[in-house]
């Protein structure tokens, strides 16, 4: 199986397995792989897997796609080790075939194979699961004929390095002699389908998980609280603490406030499921655990959730366990003599049996989980038992259990037609369950087009189609009610054309909505026609002619004597002064202007012209005369003009 190793500009690496036939990459929500940098387009690229051939397609992105340094156009094939540049992200296509263990190695999913430097002479203990600490640690004896210890940097091949160190190397570094092996750290791997394959290393003493960007691990899902949980590391052990989240922390189906994590623990944070992978554990998604989809119903807990978790273990390692005829238990019984958990709080492997449930049934369920097999299969293990388990799961709509049981039957009988049919039906219903969840999400947001599209994607023969049909009908009625309220607003405003436009758009979604709006548009036009009807003509009221009063006649102005023809500037200034005293400022202005024509520098005529202009509110003329006055004259006339509302300065 191929995988994508994604490295950002800070060197952080994420591994995404190629388990789907089509993967979209972009910045917008809804892509299979979401890259959040601004130099990534909303829909940037699409990766196809057809008959074992993998291709990448540029979706008309702004910054393009570089494959091995060359920009591509359209769709091009990819081969192993090709390097893809999308914005600030470097993506490498790798194959996991070299990492797949042989049949014997798959006998126990909890005993990873460690790589050891063949040149090292230091005794190296055999890898023993912490759960199986009853076996003594057996060092590898050093031979005297072996050479002196050689540093890892001098190792001739990359096979001597740990897999974790290889993943940590930059893609450009292909020389195994230049890197130092990094100490492996534990990590969390997402099993939920919406974030499947994302890995988060636990490389800090305390790692906070939440929905917002200020957390160490950001999982942007509505069921995750802002600060949901914290994983603390103490003396090589990891514990998870609930930070008073809304949906709580569940480990292997049990609610905890704080609990120590162990190899293989399945953690549910809201509707997101993660798997705890110990440091150095050889874990491969798709081999050791399957991708699941948690709905609100399955996340609430109960036996359905327990069996879903059980199915994950069965798909990952159950086939190898049955093929080998058993093996060591992945989870030892609490209180065992040589239990690795001795001296610390041991968590129950399964929920305590309810009142009225026999202890034998609880023991059978615990034994089934310990052997990575369903409780129904623990007793027999034949094809008929697995098929019966699958049919019971079909009746209870437990699709993951149904798929797991069908896979177990196909492991024993690959040509069994009934097992193939049940497996295919379980896979279809798992997909339909995801589409039904998308439908419910869109309906809750009143995204009517998205809800109807999600409903149409559900298979017609699916149980979820029948379940969603009444919900879709209620959603349609709600949509029509909203349209009618909006149409009533347009009717009040006599905007019937807006209702017609609404009807055209609504008809693309529901025919019933088009019919309802057509009726509203007809009612709007009818109401508008009544409103524009002209009223009957009314007889105009009789108007009495207005009473006319004779115009008031003003007494004629006294005839002013014209100035003497040969008057001097002083005589004209005196006459202007007399006219101003009688408030005849127009005549005063005329006389002083005549005096200034004879003698432009006559100071008294200039002062009288300034005063007359201010009294007549002629600001422009007042400023012209004021500018030529002496400072003393300016001070005397300034306040007088200010009383008339003219500011000369």
Residue 249 pLDDT > 90: yes
- pLDDT at res. 288: 83
Mean pLDDT of the chain: 74
- pLDDT at res. 562: 56
At residue 628 the predicted structure's pLDDT band, cuts being 50, 70 and 90, is confident
- pLDDT at res. 369: 33
Report, as an integer, the average pLDDT of 469-493: 91
Three-state SS letters, 311-366: HHHHHHHHHHHHHCCCCCCCCCCCCCCCCCCCCCCCCCCCCCCCCCCCHHHHHHHH
Report, as an integer, the average pLDDT of 188-216: 89
Q: Which residues contact 497 (CB under 8 A, 6 or more apart)?
A: none
- pLDDT at res. 564: 58
For 569-643, give the CATH class. mainly alpha
Which residues, in sequence order, are bridge partners of residue 189? 199, 275
Residue 524 structure tokens = 């709007």
- pLDDT at res. 109: 35
Residue 594 structure tokens = 């005549």
d(CA 87, CA 9): 9
Residues 573-607 pLDDT 10s: 888 888 888 888 888 888 888 888 888 888 888 88
Residues 223-233 pLDDT 10s: 899 899 999 98
- pLDDT at res. 295: 56
At residue 173 the predicted structure's pLDDT band, cuts being 50, 70 and 90, is very low
217-218 vs 206-210, strand pairing mode? parallel
- pLDDT at res. 559: 56
| DSSP3 helix / strand / coil % (the chain, rounded to 5) | 40, 15, 45
User: For a pLDDT cut of 70, what percent of the chain falls above it?
Assistant: 70
Helix (H) or strand (E) holding 2: strand 2-7
Residue 51 structure tokens = 């008959």
> Which has more confidence, 384 or 147?
384
d(CA 19, CA 1): 8
- pLDDT at res. 17: 87
Residue 323 pLDDT > 50: no
Angle of the 399-412 helix axis to the 383-395 helix axis, nearest 10 = 160
Report, as an integer, the average pLDDT of 482-489: 92
d(CA 314, CA 125): 30
Residue 177 pLDDT > 80: no
266-269 vs 75-78, strand pairing mode? unpaired
- pLDDT at res. 532: 63
DSSP annotation string for 122-160:
S--BPP--GGGTTSPP-BPPPPTTSPPP--GGG-SSGGG
Residue 554 pLDDT > 80: no
Q: Let me know if domain 2-95 sits in CATH 2.60.200.20.
A: yes
At residue 544 the predicted structure's pLDDT band, cuts being 50, 70 and 90, is confident
- pLDDT at res. 533: 58
> Which has more confidence, 37 or 345?
37
Report, as an integer, the average pLDDT of 347-375: 36
d(CA 102, CA 350): 31
- pLDDT at res. 67: 92
- CATH number given to 187-277: 2.60.200.20
187-190 vs 199-201, strand pairing mode? antiparallel
At residue 558 the predicted structure's pLDDT band, cuts being 50, 70 and 90, is low
Residue 482 pLDDT > 70: yes
Residues 261-320 pLDDT 10s: 998 899 999 889 999 999 888 888 888 888 887 754 444 444 343 434 334 443 444 333
At residue 563 the predicted structure's pLDDT band, cuts being 50, 70 and 90, is low
CA-based nearest residue to 419, from 466, 372, 383, 366 = 383
Residues 62-86 pLDDT 10s: 889 999 989 998 889 999 889 999 9
CA-based nearest residue to 37, from 27, 45, 28 = 27
CA-based nearest residue to 288, from 18, 100, 33, 14 = 100
Report, as an integer, the average pLDDT of 455-459: 93
Report, as an integer, the average pLDDT of 237-257: 90
Report, as an integer, the average pLDDT of 363-374: 35
How big is the CA angle at 241 (ends 236 and 247), to the nearest 5 degrees? 145
How many other CB atoms sit within 10 Å of the CB of residue 301? 15
- pTM higher than 0.75, yes or no? no
Residue 5 pLDDT > 60: yes
Report, as an integer, the average pLDDT of 469-496: 91
- pLDDT at res. 648: 79
75-78 vs 187-190, strand pairing mode? unpaired
198-202, 324-328, 465-469: least confident range: 324-328
Residue with tokens 């189906």: 253
d(CA 555, CA 45): 97
- pLDDT at res. 351: 39
Residue 245 pLDDT > 80: yes
> Which has more confidence, 570 or 175?
570
221-225, 377-381, 608-612: least confident range: 377-381
Report, as an integer, the average pLDDT of 333-344: 35
At residue 447 the predicted structure's pLDDT band, cuts being 50, 70 and 90, is very high
> Which has more confidence, 296 or 49?
49
CA-based nearest residue to 378, from 436, 441, 329 = 329
d(CA 114, CA 127): 7
Report, as an integer, the average pLDDT of 414-431: 91
> Which has more confidence, 162 or 564?
564
Residues 113-164 pLDDT 10s: 333 333 333 333 333 343 333 333 333 333 333 333 333 333 333 333 334 3
Residues 25-46 pLDDT 10s: 998 888 889 998 888 998 999 9
Please, how many CA atoms are within 13 Å of residue 417, restricted to the half-sphere of its CB?
0
Identify the DSSP state of 21: S
Report, as an integer, the average pLDDT of 511-517: 90
């Amino acid at each position: 199986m191929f995988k994508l190793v994604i490295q950002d500009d800070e060197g952080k690496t994420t591994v995404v397995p190629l388990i789907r036939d089509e993967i979209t990459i972009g910045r917008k929500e809804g892509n299979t792989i979401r890259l959040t940098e601004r130099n990534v387009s909303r829909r940037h690229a699409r990766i196809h897997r057809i008959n074992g051939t993998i291709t990448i397609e540029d979706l008309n992105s702004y910054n393009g796609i570089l494959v091995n340094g060359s920009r591509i156009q359209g769709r091009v094939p990819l081969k192993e080790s090709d390097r893809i540049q999308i914005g600030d992200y470097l993506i490498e296509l790798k194959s996991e075939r070299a990492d797949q263990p042989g049949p014997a190695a798959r006998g126990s999913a909890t005993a990873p194979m460690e790589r050891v430097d063949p040149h090292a002479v230091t005794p190296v203990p055999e890898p023993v699961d912490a759960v199986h600490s009853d076996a003594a640690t057996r060092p590898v004896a050093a031979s005297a004929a072996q050479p002196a210890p050689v540093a890892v940097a001098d190792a001739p091949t990359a096979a001597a390095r740990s897999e974790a160190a290889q993943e940590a190397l930059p893609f450009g570094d292909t020389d195994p002699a230049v890197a130092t092996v990094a100490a492996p750290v534990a990590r969390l791997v997402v099993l939920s389908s919406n974030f499947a394959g994302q890995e988060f290393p636990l490389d800090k003493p305390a790692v906070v998980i939440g929905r917002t960007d200020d957390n160490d691990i950001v999982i942007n899902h509505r069921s995750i609280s802002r600060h949901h949980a914290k994983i603390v590391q103490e003396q090589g052990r990891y514990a998870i603490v609930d930070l008073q989240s809304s949906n709580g922390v569940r480990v292997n189906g049990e609610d905890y406030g704080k609990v120590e994590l162990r190899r293989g623990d399945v953690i549910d944070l809201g509707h997101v499921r993660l798997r705890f992978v110990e440091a150095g554990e050889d874990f491969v998604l798709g081999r050791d655990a399957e991708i699941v989809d948690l709905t609100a119903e399955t996340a609430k807990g109960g036996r359905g959730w327990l069996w879903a978790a059980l199915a994950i273990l069965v798909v990952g390692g159950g086939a190898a366990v049955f093929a080998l005829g058993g093996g060591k238990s992945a989870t030892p019984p609490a209180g065992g003599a040589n239990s690795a958990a001795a001296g610390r709080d041991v968590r129950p492997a399964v929920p305590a049996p309810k009142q009225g449930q026999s202890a034998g049934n609880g023991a059978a369920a615990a034994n089934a989980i310990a052997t990575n097999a369903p409780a129904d299969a623990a007793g027999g293990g034949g094809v008929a038992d697995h098929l019966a388990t699958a049919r019971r799961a079909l009746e209870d709509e437990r699709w993951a259990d149904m798929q797991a049981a069908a896979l177990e039957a196909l492991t024993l009988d690959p040509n069994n037609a009934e097992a193939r049919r049940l497996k295919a039906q379980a896979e279809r219903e798992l997909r339909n369950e995801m589409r039904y969840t998308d439908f419910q999400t869109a309906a809750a947001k009143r995204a009517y087009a998205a809800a109807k599209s999600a409903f149409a994607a559900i298979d017609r023969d699916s149980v979820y189609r029948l379940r969603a049909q009444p919900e879709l009908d209620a959603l349609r009625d709600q949509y029509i009610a909203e349209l009618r309220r909006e149409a009533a607003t347009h009717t009040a405003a006599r905007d019937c054309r807006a209702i017609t436009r609404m009807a055209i758009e609504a008809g693309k979604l529901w025919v019933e909505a088009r019919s309802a709006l057509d009726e509203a548009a007809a009612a709007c036009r009818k109401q508008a026609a009544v409103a524009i009807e002209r009223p009957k003509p009314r007889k105009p009221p009789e108007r009495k002619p207005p009473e006319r009063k004779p115009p008031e006649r003003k007494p004629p102005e006294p005839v002013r004597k014209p100035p003497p023809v040969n008057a001097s500037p002083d005589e004209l200034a005196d006459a202007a002064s007399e006219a101003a005293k009688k408030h005849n400022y127009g005549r005063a202005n005329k006389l002083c202007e005549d005096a200034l024509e004879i003698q432009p520098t006559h100071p008294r005529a200039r002062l009288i012209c300034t005063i007359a202009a201010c009294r007549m509110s002629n600001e422009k003329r007042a400023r012209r005369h004021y500018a030529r006055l002496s400072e003393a004259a300016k001070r005397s006339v300034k306040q007088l003009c200010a009383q008339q509302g003219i500011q000369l300065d």
